[in-house]
Amino acid sequence: MQYLVAGLVLVAGLTTLNLVLTVALVRRWRARLSAPPAARPGHLPRDPEPGIAPGDRMPEFTVTTAGGARLTRDEFAGRPALIAFLSLDCPGCDDSVPAFAEHARRVRDAGGRVMATVVGVDAGGSELAARLAGVADHVVPEFLDAPVGTAFGVRFYPTFAHYAPDGVATAAGVGLQRLAETARASAQ
C-alpha cells in the first residue's frame, strides 16, 4: 500500500511539473508570435549587419577543404578574394549560387581566388557543396560550430565578402546585393 501511495504522489508531481512547463512554453510561443517581424528569431531586420564590414582585414584562419587540402589566409595574399558563407539550413543560400557563380567568375578573371564555406551536419557530402565545387576554388565544409565563419565574425547566412589584394574587405553583406552595388560602382 505504501508503494501505491508513493507512486501516485510521484505521478501527481510529474503531471504538475509537465503542466507548469507546458504553460511556460505556450506563453513564450505566444509572445514570439505577437512580436513584430524584425524582433522575431529567424527574421532578419531590413538591412542586417553581416559581421564583416568594408575596411576590415581578413582574419587569420586555417581550414581543411573538401578535397583535404590545408588552406590559410596566405593563399589569398596579393590577389582579390571572394568568400561566401553558406548554410545547409538556409533556403536563400541555395538560391544565391547562380549569382555567386557570376561574381566568382569576375574575381577569377581578375586573377583572384574564391572560397565558399558550407555549414551543416553533413556539409561535405551535401548537394550545396557539390554545386559549389564547380564555382569556388575552395569549398570548405564546416560543422555547426563554424570556426571559419566565427573567425570572420559572420552572423547571418548567406554572407558574402570581397577582399582587395591587400586583404582589406571592399564589400560585404548578407546576400549578394552589396557585392553587386560595389561591382556597378567600380564599373562606372
Instruction: Give mean pLDDT in consecutive 10-residue pieces for the chain, a chain of 188 residues.
Output: 90 93 78 50 59 90 90 92 92 89 93 94 89 92 88 90 93 84 52
pLDDT of residue 47: 63
pLDDT of residue 107: 92
> Residue 170 is inside which H or E element, if any?
strand 169-174
CA angle, 133 then 134 then 135, to 5°: 95
pLDDT of residue 30: 64
pLDDT of residue 146: 86
Give pTM, 2 decimals: 0.71
